[in-house]
């Protein structure tokens, strides 16, 4: 009976589930890595430095047995962003923040309006909330803010934009983000702006969005700070919506150990900024190399570069044989590969050398 539908319900293993589970599959992280040594397929940040080691070495074990308190980290992040601490909600990675916003705003009969491609967890959480997903194309070209605005209607419960976008690296101009948010506000709709990669971009739109009463910004310490394994994200919410974001998820989403490391890293923001600048420089160099080997790189302001290849599968397999795993896709992205920028000279040189050799082989 697995996969059957009975009276509008999914039947799995002989039990009835919510119709919202129809067609939903678990998130699939990068696979087929084999014995790859250089993992450039998940947009992870720098390897933990001394600040992380020192923090873990002096952690009070009371933090292990007590329920965690995120107030200190929320205050530190609020100071960086320029808002009151109560407007910052620390979550289990940016994914948890996205899930909470979808739970707050969506239901059966409502729609999520977003673009395609987009970070895959956004439409997934929308469907789990019972909503329909409506997407406009943003694979190439300028940000389609007019199409997003015209797609909103009386059923729209949430509009979502990722900038820089994952998986393309493209950015939406600040004025267009404001225009989309204001159009959503006129309909009484929340605008969720996912800024997971904003630290790598030329412009951070936060100052222009911070006082709009319907904008929830999603941020994370996973990318720029290399803490993906600790699951520390946060939502910057309007004053009235922050309590709803807290209510939409669990009461203690992030462990005390993760909070302690997060606090230490935020206090050492300048150290992370040095690594981020190295990533930005690598981004320009990798784009030039990709054009040199015959690929078509997309303009990126994230910590990765995505490029179109005549034979993406062949290049992906060739890099794997050399111990390098990059991200491959299906569907509308099947001709593309995404390269996380390592932010380290030796690893970057290894990637460039392997890429040149593989593209020469594939070309032959």
**What are the structural domain ranges in the chain?**
32-42+270-363, 69-254
Tokens of 149: 């605005």
What percentage of the chain reaches a pLDDT higher than 70? 96
Alpha-carbon distances of 253 from 57, 286, 322, rounded to whole Å: 23, 37, 39
Q: What does the pLDDT look like over 184-193, one tens digit per residue?
A: 999 999 999 9
User: Residue length, the chain?
Assistant: 364
Q: Does domain 32-42+270-363 have CATH number 3.90.1150.10?
A: yes
* Residue 6 pLDDT greater than 70, yes or no: no
Query: Phi/psi of residue 155, each to 5°?
Result: -90, -10
CATH of 69-254, one of 3.40.640.10, 3.30.200.20, 3.30.930.10, 3.40.50.10300: 3.40.640.10
Question: Is the confidence at residue 294, as pLDDT, over 70?
Answer: yes
Q: Tens digits of per-residue pLDDT, 60-115? A: 787 788 899 999 999 999 999 999 999 999 999 999 999 999 999 999 999 999 99
Say yes or no to pLDDT of 313 above 60.
Answer: yes
CA distance 318 to 70: 45
Alpha-carbon span 259 to 38, nearest angstrom: 28
Which of 42-56, 76-90, 197-211 is predicted least confidently?
42-56
List of residues 6+ apart from 150 with CB closer than 8 A: none
Looking at the chain, the whole-number percentage of residues with pLDDT higher than 90 is 75
Question: Please, how many CA atoms are within 13 Å of residue 138, restricted to the half-sphere of its CB?
Answer: 31
Count of CB atoms situated within 10 Å of the CB of 46? 21
C-alpha 284: how far from chain center: 21
H-type helices in 268-302, by residue range?
269-292
Measured distance CA(123)–CA(257) in Å, rounded: 31
- pLDDT class of 32 with cuts at 50, 70, 90: low
Q: Return d(Cα 99, Cα 121) in angstroms, integer.
A: 8
Global pTM reads 0.92
Checking if the pLDDT of 289 tops 90, the result is yes
Q: Give the single-character DSSP code of 164.
A: S
Q: Give the residue carrying structure tokens 């707050």.
A: 104
Report the distance separating Cα 49 and Cα 138, nearest Å.
37
User: Which residue did the predictor score with more confidence, 150 or 8?
Assistant: 150
pLDDT top residue among 247 and 1: 247
d(CA 282, CA 342): 8
What's the order of all strands across the beta sheet hosting 88-91? 88-91, 233-236, 215-220, 190-194, 156-162, 111-116, 132-137
């Amino acid at each position: 009976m697995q996969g059957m539908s009975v009276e509008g319900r999914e039947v799995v293993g002989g039990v009835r589930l919510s119709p919202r589970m129809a067609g939903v599959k678990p998130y699939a992280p990068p696979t087929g890595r084999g014995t790859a040594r250089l993992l450039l397929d998940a947009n992870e940040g720098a390897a933990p430095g001394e600040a992380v080691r020192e923090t873990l070495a002096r952690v009070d074990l009371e933090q292990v047995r007590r329920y965690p308190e995120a107030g200190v980290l929320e205050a530190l992040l609020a100071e960086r962003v320029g808002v009151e601490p109560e407007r910052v909600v620390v979550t289990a990675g940016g994914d948890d923040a996205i899930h909470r916003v979808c739970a707050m705003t969506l239901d059966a009969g409502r729609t999520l309006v977003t673009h395609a491609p987009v970070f895959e967890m956004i439409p997934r959480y929308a469907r789990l909330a019972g909503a329909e997903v409506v997407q406009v194309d943003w694979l190439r070209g300028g940000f389609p803010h007019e199409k997003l605005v015209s797609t909103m209607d009386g059923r729209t419960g949430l509009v979502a934009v990722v900038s820089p976008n994952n998986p393309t690296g493209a950015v939406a101009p600040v004025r267009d983000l404001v225009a989309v948010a204001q159009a959503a506000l006129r309909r009484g709709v929340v605008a969720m702006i996912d800024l997971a990669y904003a630290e790598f971009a030329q412009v951070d739109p936060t100052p222009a969005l911070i006082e709009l009463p319907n904008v929830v910004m999603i941020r994370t310490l996973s990318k720029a700070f290399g803490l993906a394994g600790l699951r520390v994200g946060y939502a910057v919410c309007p004053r009235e919506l922050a309590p709803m974001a807290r209510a939409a998820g669990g009461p203690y989403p992030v462990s005390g150990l993760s909070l302690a490391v997060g606090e230490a890293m935020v206090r050492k923001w300048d150290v992370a900024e040095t690594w981020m600048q190295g990533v930005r420089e690598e981004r320009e160099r990798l784009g030039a190399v990709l054009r040199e080997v015959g690929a078509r790189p997309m303009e990126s302001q994230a910590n990765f570069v995505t490029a179109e290849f005549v034979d993406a599968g062949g290049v992906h397999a060739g890099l794997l044989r050399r111990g390098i795993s990059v991200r491959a896709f299906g569907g509308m992205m099947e001709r593309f590969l995404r390269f996380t920028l390592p932010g380290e000279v030796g690893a970057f040189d290894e990637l460039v050398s392997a890429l040149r050799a593989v593209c020469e082989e594939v070309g032959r």
